Chain A
């Protein structure tokens, strides 16, 4: 037969579909980082004095730190003086409605398949769009305000709700937490803020699209979600970045606080530019995401579908402080070409009868490396803590790698921690079976991969799940033939 090429190889090699640059007049601060840059950021954002002081403190601390080297990833040294720390698209005037948004910008979102107007009309999703650093348009804000929900950009929150921001910012991820968190604390420019008051079930999914646009602009968002007693919120975060040759740094911090009987569901779909087939370019994604189940019977659930970035270094974690609180982590990480992902979670059991569940699915293709790193910790007080972890790896081809690093620290005898791991490959005979039924290799791989990832996909809200499935399929295109 003529087709001698490895069919798996072909189906996983295609071009990034979101590689375009929006041509918008941008207001930027020159490259480089020092105290003056931080003062300038704070000044441009018209921040109160306490915020500037907080940033400067973080910066001073960051200067004393060294970049971590322990993750199972390799990348060239980042030159922090070669990064633009502030880039805001210049709006022509104050925006009152979506119609006034720069049409270039709207068309960018359309290319991404997230026309705001459509989303507003059809799905009832409130979208807070972050383009580079500044929030462009926030919809549904008024409807949310009626029931007391605050959903706005973090910059706006600093202006309008300083007492809430002051109280919670950095309370879960302190500025001293790690190198990238310290950097973020010093230079963050935007992000989202959600506050759900006591007893309120947020009636719609809150959603943010992040997009990195300006060349050489690092993106440092800061997201803070506070759910008061007996409240509920589901938050969606989606990301894309245009194609760039130079690596771009992304170091976000996300903090979640769930009070008594509150529930926060945080879903991420991340498809930032992964670099080309030779491993050139791509986003470095170093993110600190942490939530605390502060009250009894509270629940935090992280779901992530990660298909992008050249390097992902990310461990959404839950501190289970309240008794009977629940932490969950559902993850699908797909890596292709020369991508490297080191992702996982930390579940810290402090309260009694706390439970956590980890389902991590890694899919590796091309020359990529995909690692799961997880820590389950049960303190002396965490009587009857339970954890169940499941880590499955699927390899497409034989040049990629999958690694699992489960760490367990249990300090009391009543805690039960279970861990299961599997590794599998798509077999030639499975592909042939599909092809004999008229399903081409690309569709067959998509079918098998989606089947593999189903348990996690099912955790996503409906509209998001469909998008995530499409994304997974797009990322895989060309890896079979």
Chain B
């Protein structure tokens, strides 16, 4: 589904990603861990098509398309979803209207009629139950004045509404209380199916307890320096990153 080959990327002239390779197949759950500033969010931004991030080398294919040639909106319409580490506030735009616009833009791209208000609200009600989000939150301006946890939950709600092929979750578990964590994990598990894949970026084992990744990768200084199964996450939790990063040549 997603194939990343030797990606290098710069931000403001500084190289942050230094040759990333990653294969994600339909139905798989991958986790990326790694110390602060190692390039995890940068990787997510590059995949989503953020323009400040300049790809200097490498290739990415997504569902057999050259991902790097697509505009950010077309990537989204093709089924790539990014739950942001820091979701932005958009005053004046109601969350419901925003999601409706997003859903209908995607439908238009795939040659489908826009959903009318009745069918849209019906789907919305279902998904609201799934992520236990309150109606009152959805009638407010998007993310404006939302608590940290509410913002994250709203990201998962949007994911549930858009039903992406590949969901990238950038630290969606950070700042969540125990109940919210369970709800978010539940949302991810409900979405997960043989046709869909998930890439979670996290610092904590606790999310992985709920969602059971097939693979865990450690990103360090712009490279994936170790990949393994979910046991790797447990090992990291126990020993920290030192046991991996020791001996990695920073200049290579």
Instruction: Tell me the total A-B contact number using a CB cutoff of 8 A.
Output: 84
Q: Which residue on A lies nearest to B143, using beta carbons?
A: A433
B105 neighbours in A (Cβ, 8 Å): 437-440, 443
Q: Please report the total number of B residues contacting A with Cβ < 8 Å.
A: 36
Contact B71 A443 (CB under 8 A): no
Is A464 on the interface with B (CB-CB < 8 A)?
no
User: Shortest beta-carbon distance, A457 to chain B, in Å?
Assistant: 11
Chain A 162-194 per-residue mask, 1 if CB under 8 angstroms from chain B, else 0: 000000000000000000000000000000000
Binds A, one of B96-104, B126-134, B177-185, B195-203: B96-104
> Contact: A435 with B71, CB < 8 Å?
yes
Is A447's beta carbon under 8 Å from chain B? yes
Q: Does B93 lie at the interface of the complex (its beta carbon under 8 Å from any beta carbon of A)? A: yes
Cβ–Cβ contact B76 & A435, under 8 A: yes
A447 touches B97 (CB 8 A): yes
- Shortest beta-carbon distance, A396 to chain B, in Å? 14
Query: What CA separation (Å) do A454 and B139 show in the bound complex?
Result: 14
Chain A residues touching B, range:
20 to 34
- Given the interface pairs A432-B50, A435-B72, A438-B105, the reply to whether A452 lies near B92 with Cβ below 8 Å is yes
Describe A's contact surface by its main secondary structure. helix
A229 to B75, CA, bound (A): 61
Residues 75-95 (chain B) with a chain A CB within 8 angstroms: 75-77, 81-82, 84, 87-94
In angstroms, how far is the closest chain A Cβ from the Cβ of B166? 13
At the interface, yes or no: A412 with Cβ under 8 Å from chain B?
no
Contacts of A451 in B (CB 8 A): 90-94, 97, 141
Complex-state Cα separation, A448 to B71, whole angstroms? 20
Give the CA-CA distance A440 to B109 in the complex, in Å: 11
- Chain B 36-71 interface 0/1 with A at a Cβ cutoff of 8 Å (1 = within): 000000000000111101110000000000001001
Q: Is B73 an interface residue (CB 8 A)?
A: yes
Chain A residues positioned under 8 Å from B72 (CB to CB)? 432, 435-436
A308 to chain B, nearest CB (A): 23
Is A26 an interface residue when CB atoms closer than 8 A count as contact?
Answer: no
Once the chains bind, are A439 and B92 in contact (CB under 8 Å)?
no
Q: With A424-B91, A433-B84 in contact, is A1–B73 under 8 Å at CB?
A: no
Contacts of A3 in B (CB 8 A): 51, 71
A433-B84, A433-B90 known; 7 other A-B pairs, CB under 8 Å? A1-B53, A432-B50, A435-B71, A437-B158, A439-B98, A447-B101, A452-B92
B contact set with A: CB distance below 8 Å: 48-51, 53-55, 68, 71-73, 75-77, 81-82, 84, 87-94, 97-99, 101-102, 105-106, 109, 141, 158, 162
Which 8 A/B pairs are nearest by Cβ-Cβ distance?
A: A451-B92, A451-B93, A437-B102, A438-B76, A435-B72, A438-B105, A438-B77, A435-B73
